């Protein structure tokens, strides 16, 4: 059944209550839902209903197309001045010997390791420390661009920007211009956590506020550049905090159109100060992704970050609004594995990633950072798959 038929069947369902029918009708007619309606979806939206709506939007925007990219991550340090309570990754300065602190040359060595690999993006984020300042990052970005001009540099979040600009005594506008001139091309979505101060002050006190996070992205967009957005969900926040967060993003996107993709990030509770907080269930994860897809009508893409949520949930999410599953990654990020994520050694080859998408009936598209199509893998035959001759037929035992 096509997604339009599924929506029509849902709308004809006599058992559907009036409020849910009104929301479904809005989605069908491509109208925006209100904050109250978003909250209602979190409180009462049943999984199948949410999936139908989110999948309808996903298929209208992208059909079966499912994007991935080939990237690698560099985390310059896991030592951090801040003490976010959900963070399993960072080491306090007083225990810095337990962590790592790469020099500029260490980082360039990692970049050079990928010289013969068909990667299109380097993703750089990490802890906040005084030696990683404006000069350090400016030099790093220009060195990477000079070394490999076609490699897209996606790096840092407003958490780092806020710190380095304050330390360097420059305004956000001046600082973001300096980053752009040095070679930074886009910024990832991290550091957003939950914008609402009632929650942010408890889990991420001391680092940039929600308003500052949004301000830095807005300045970046006004420079003609693109970025992503995230939301850390499933800890001590309530549904209305999630709606507040999504609403701030939706309003900023109305003003600039600079966000490419939204990435919900599931809170994990291993080895952090919030280990007593239970993690969300898979059902709640699916609901959260679906509602994000429905609410953020002005975002083109919804991404599931597979190392954090796991391969199987990622496949399920392709029917709950998700059209992007990030990249091949190659075991270079520790941020989520240290927090107890599904993937302890996150690495997937292009073939594995393509098959993960194809196995649920979607069409794998390799993209660059700005969603330019590099290759459609729909009918691509991998050598390893050609060698696979099928399962051995076992003799049938007859009585």
Is there binding between residue 336 and ligand SF4 (CB under 6 A)? no
Query: CB 6 → ligand SF4: shortest distance, Å?
Result: 40
Is there binding between residue 296 and ligand SF4 (CB under 6 A)? no
Q: What is the DSSP letter of 338?
A: G
Query: CB 267 → ligand SF4: shortest distance, Å?
Result: 12
Return d(Cα 188, Cα 165) in angstroms, integer.
18
Return d(Cα 236, Cα 194) in angstroms, integer.
10
Return d(Cα 26, Cα 297) in angstroms, integer.
11
Of the pair 94, 398, the CB lying nearest ligand SF4 is at 94
Is there binding between residue 158 and ligand SF4 (CB under 6 A)? no
Among 89, 141, 320, 336, binds ligand SF4 (CB under 6 A): 89
Is there binding between residue 74 and ligand SF4 (CB under 6 A)? no
Q: Do residues 192 and 237 make contact, with C-beta atoms less than 8 angstroms apart?
A: no
How many CB atoms neighbour CB 108 within 10 A? Answer: 16
Footprint on residues 192-211 left by ligand SF4 (CB under 6 A): 207
Of 184, 179, 188, the C-alpha closest to 228 is: 188
Query: CB 190 → ligand SF4: shortest distance, Å?
Result: 8
Helix (H) or strand (E) holding 265: strand 259-266
Question: Could you tell me which stretch among 4-12, 62-70, 87-95, 230-238 binds ligand SF4 (CB under 6 A)?
Answer: 87-95
Of the pair 83, 142, the CB lying nearest ligand SF4 is at 83
Q: What is the largest CA-CA distance in the chain?
A: 85
Among 159, 294, 302, 322, binds ligand SF4 (CB under 6 A): 159
Of the pair 95, 255, the CB lying nearest ligand SF4 is at 95
Of 252, 209, 208, the C-alpha closest to 229 is: 252
Question: Could you tell me which stretch among 27-35, 79-87, 273-281, 389-397 binds ligand SF4 (CB under 6 A)?
Answer: 79-87
Radius of gyration from C-alpha coordinates of the chain: 22
Of 39, 42, 37, 35, the C-alpha closest to 24 is: 37
Is there binding between residue 90 and ligand SF4 (CB under 6 A)? yes
Of the pair 66, 272, the CB lying nearest ligand SF4 is at 272
Among 127, 307, 310, 364, binds ligand SF4 (CB under 6 A): 127
Return d(Cα 267, Cα 95) in angstroms, integer.
24
Of the pair 45, 127, the CB lying nearest ligand SF4 is at 127
Indicate the SS3 state at residue 124.
Answer: strand
- Sheet containing strand 373-376, edge to edge, reads 324-327, 65-69, 363-367, 373-376
Question: Rounded to whole angstroms, what are the CA distances from 113 to 117, 334, 349?
Answer: 8, 18, 17
Is there binding between residue 82 and ligand SF4 (CB under 6 A)? yes
Is there binding between residue 235 and ligand SF4 (CB under 6 A)? no
Question: Rounded to whole angstroms, what are the CA distances from 384 to 83, 387, 389?
Answer: 46, 5, 10
Interface with ligand SF4: number of residues (CB under 6 A): 11
Phi-psi region of 195 (alpha: psi -120 to 50; beta: other; left: phi over 0): alpha
Is there binding between residue 84 and ligand SF4 (CB under 6 A)? yes
Question: Could you tell me which stretch among 83-91, 105-113, 166-174, 259-267 binds ligand SF4 (CB under 6 A)?
Answer: 83-91
Question: Could you tell me which stretch among 80-88, 107-115, 173-181, 217-225 binds ligand SF4 (CB under 6 A)?
Answer: 80-88
Is there binding between residue 274 and ligand SF4 (CB under 6 A)? no
Of the pair 80, 182, the CB lying nearest ligand SF4 is at 80
Query: CB 109 → ligand SF4: shortest distance, Å?
Result: 22
How many CB atoms neighbour CB 155 within 10 A? Answer: 24
Question: Could you tell me which stretch among 48-56, 85-93, 165-173, 180-188 binds ligand SF4 (CB under 6 A)?
Answer: 85-93
Question: Could you tell me which stretch among 33-41, 76-84, 294-302, 341-349 binds ligand SF4 (CB under 6 A)?
Answer: 76-84
C-alpha torsion sign, points 377, 304, 309, 82: positive
Residues in the site for ligand SF4, rule: CB under 6 A? 80, 82-84, 87, 89-90, 127-128, 159, 207
């Amino acid at each position: 059944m096509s997604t339009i038929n599924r929506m029509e069947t849902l709308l004809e369902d006599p058992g559907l209550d009036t409020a849910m029918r009104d929301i479904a009708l809005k989605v069908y007619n491509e109208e925006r839902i209100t904050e109250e309606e978003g909250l209602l979806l979190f409180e009462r939206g049943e999984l199948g209903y949410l999936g139908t709506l989110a999948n309808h939007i996903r298929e209208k925007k992208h059909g079966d197309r499912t994007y991935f990219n080939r990237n690698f991550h560099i985390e310059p340090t896991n030592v951090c001045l801040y003490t976010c309570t959900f963070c399993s990754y960072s080491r306090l300065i007083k225990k810095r010997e337990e962590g790592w602190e790469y020099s500029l040359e260490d980082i360039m060595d990692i970049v050079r390791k990928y010289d013969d690999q068909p990667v299109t993006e380097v993703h750089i984020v990490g802890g906040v420390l005084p030696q990683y300042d404006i000069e350090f990052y400016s030099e790093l970005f220009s060195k990477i661009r000079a070394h490999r001009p076609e490699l897209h540099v996606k790096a840092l979040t407003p958490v780092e920007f806020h710190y380095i600009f304050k330390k360097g005594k420059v305004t956000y506008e001046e600082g973001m211009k300096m980053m752009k001139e040095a070679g930074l091309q886009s910024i990832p979505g991290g550091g957003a956590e939950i914008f609402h101060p009632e929650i942010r002050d408890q889990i991420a006190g001391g680092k940039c506020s929600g308003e500052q996070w949004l301000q830095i992205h807005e300045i970046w967009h006004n420079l003609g550049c693109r970025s992503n957005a995230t939301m850390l969900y499933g800890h001590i926040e309530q549904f209305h905090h999630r709606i507040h967060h999504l609403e701030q993003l939706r309003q900023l996107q109305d003003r600039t159109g600079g966000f490419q993709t939204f990435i919900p990030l599931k809170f994990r509770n291993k080895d952090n100060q919030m280990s007593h907080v239970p993690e969300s269930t898979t059902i709640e994860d699916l609901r959260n992704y679906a509602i994000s897809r429905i609410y953020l009508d002005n975002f083109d893409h919804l991404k599931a970050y597979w190392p954090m949520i796991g391969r199987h949930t990622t496949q399920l999410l392709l029917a709950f609004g998700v059209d992007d599953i990030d990249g091949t990654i190659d075991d270079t990020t520790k941020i989520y594995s240290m927090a107890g994520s599904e993937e302890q050694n996150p690495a997937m080859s292009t073939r594995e990633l393509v098959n993960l998408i194809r196995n649920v009936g979607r069409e794998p598209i390799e993209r660059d950072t700005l969603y330019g199509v590099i290759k459609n893998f729909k009918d691509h035959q991998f050598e390893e798959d050609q060698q696979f001759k099928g399962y051995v037929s076992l003799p049938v035992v007859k009585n």
